[in-house]
Amino acid sequence: MTGKIIKGIAGFYYVQVESGVYECKAKGAFRKEKIKPLVGDDVEIDVISEEEMTGNVINILPRKSELIRPAVANVDQALLIFATKSPEPNLNLLDRFLCMMEEQDLPIIICFNKDDLADEGFQQQMRDTYEPAGYRVIFTSAKEQAGIDAIKDILKGKTSTVAGPSGVGKSSIVNILTEGQVMETGEVSEKIGRGKHTTRHSELLYLGDDTYIMDTPGFSSLFVPKVDPVDLYRLFPEFIEPAENCRFTGCAHHKEPDCGVKAAVESGEIAASRYENYLQIYSEMVEQQNNKYR
Ligand code: GDP
Ligand code: ZN
């Protein structure tokens, strides 16, 4: 039987199959190869007891991808949730998070929740800011249950990491998504003791239909990309083409003359906020580099 590891704790792996969750130990040949099962791994299990729902993980199916932060396998995409208001969206934090996901090559969808509170023109402004970068931007209201179908559609059949600052309505959205499966989630909670552990582990939540989401802890405003500062602009997808017009190779798109990126900011192809956040992250990266070599 095959399933997906949704949680690993104290040497046990909790494997979701259509009918429920099996508590498993690792027993496969993969252990000789020093491969550790990860949350998100698709695995083959041998059932020990159908009644107690226990088994052994005997094989890890080939990984499509492996995220470092958080450590999870086979993530297909990231859903970033911010609020239109209350809390006011921090676009600097959003852009940092986009960089982090870009660095890991994850497709990204941006969701602004609390659309019921949005100012006139906010939707268009955010579309103009983020669609040039190739991101899909959606608007939801958990309060008015609006836009939820779009989220369901985006998540369907995939494994998604869901991230965002606190207070934006993540739990409200997840609660709506898990509605109608109350029994199933209740059963999962009982089996894996959700809520009983004080430490946060990576954990996938099964929404049925091969659809998994992961609540991503550690949403830090201190995140600075690991790439070389001259390559930072590559994490801003809409900067890449304009950068081909820069006069200098290694252009930082800052004070250099004849800079294609700056020209694109002036013509409005690149949003001012994106460029400002780029500059801020860039200067932090340079500063960090200087500190290292001092
Ligand atoms: P989380 O910290 O991201 O999980 O956010 P919560 O789901 O706990 O929501 C934070 C607060 O925002 C709660 O008081 C919710 O009732 C409220 N909230 C969530 N979604 C919406 C929404 O779409 N519109 C409005 N007006 N309030 C919302
Ligand atoms: Zn440039």
- Closest ligand 1 atom to the C-alpha of 117? 26
pLDDT of residue 200: 57
Residue 100 has which token pair?
Answer: 């982090």
Q: Is residue 149 part of a domain?
A: yes
Q: What are phi and psi of 6, to 5 degrees?
A: -105, -15
Asked whether residue 133 falls in the same domain as residue 209, the answer is: yes
Which ipTM value was assigned to this complex? 0.99
- Kindly state the tokens that stand for 235: 């994490």
Least confident of 115-124, 221-230, 262-271: 221-230
Which of the listed residues 143, 144, 166, 172 should we mutate to test ligand 1's pocket, taking the one with most ligand atoms within 8 A of CB? 172
For the range 146-154, what are the long-range contacts, defined as Cβ-Cβ under 8 Å and sequence gap of 24 or more?
Answer: 146/115, 146/116, 147/111, 147/115, 148/173, 148/176, 148/177, 151/79, 151/111, 151/177, 152/177, 154/77, 154/79, 154/109
Q: Is the residue at 221 inside a domain? A: no
- 171 and 83 co-located in one domain: yes
Return the pLDDT at 202. 79
One domain for residues 173 and 123: yes
How many angstroms is it from 94 CA to the middle of ligand 2?
23
**Among candidate residues 232, 269, 7, the one with its CA nearest the CA of residue 100:** 232
The predicted-structure confidence for 182-222, as pLDDT tens digits, reads as follows 434 444 445 554 444 434 567 899 999 999 998 766 555 55
- Any domain includes 6: yes
pLDDT on residue 162: 92
Domain count, the chain: 3
Residues 6+ apart with CB under 8 A from 272: 265
Closest CA relative to residue 80, chosen from 92, 98, 66, 65 = 98
Q: Where is pLDDT greater, at 219 or 153?
A: 153
| Centre of ligand 1 from the C-alpha of residue 169, in Å | 4
Same domain, 87 and 170: yes
Contact (CB, 8 A) for 272 and 265: yes
**Can you give the residue range of the structural domain that contains 155?**
72-215
Q: What pLDDT digit, counting tens, does each position of 5-48 carry?
A: 999 988 899 999 999 999 999 998 888 888 899 999 999 999 99
pLDDT top residue among 136 and 192: 136
- Which pLDDT value is given to residue 217? 61
Greater pLDDT, 96 or 223: 96
Percent of the chain beyond pLDDT 70? 89
The owner of tokens 């898990």 is 178
Mean pLDDT on 278-294: 90
Last residue of a domain, which of 181, 215, 249? 215
Q: What is the CATH number of the domain that holds 36?
A: 2.40.50.140
Structural tokens at position 167 = 């207070």
Encode pLDDT of 238-248 as tens digits: 999 999 999 99
Give the pLDDT confidence score for residue 86 in this predicted structure: 97
What is d(CA 187, CA 20) in angstroms, rounded to the nearest whole number?
8
Instruction: List residues, by chain if needed, whose CB lies under 5 Å from ion ligand 2.
Output: 246, 251, 253, 259, 261
Indicate whether 127 belongs to any domain.
yes
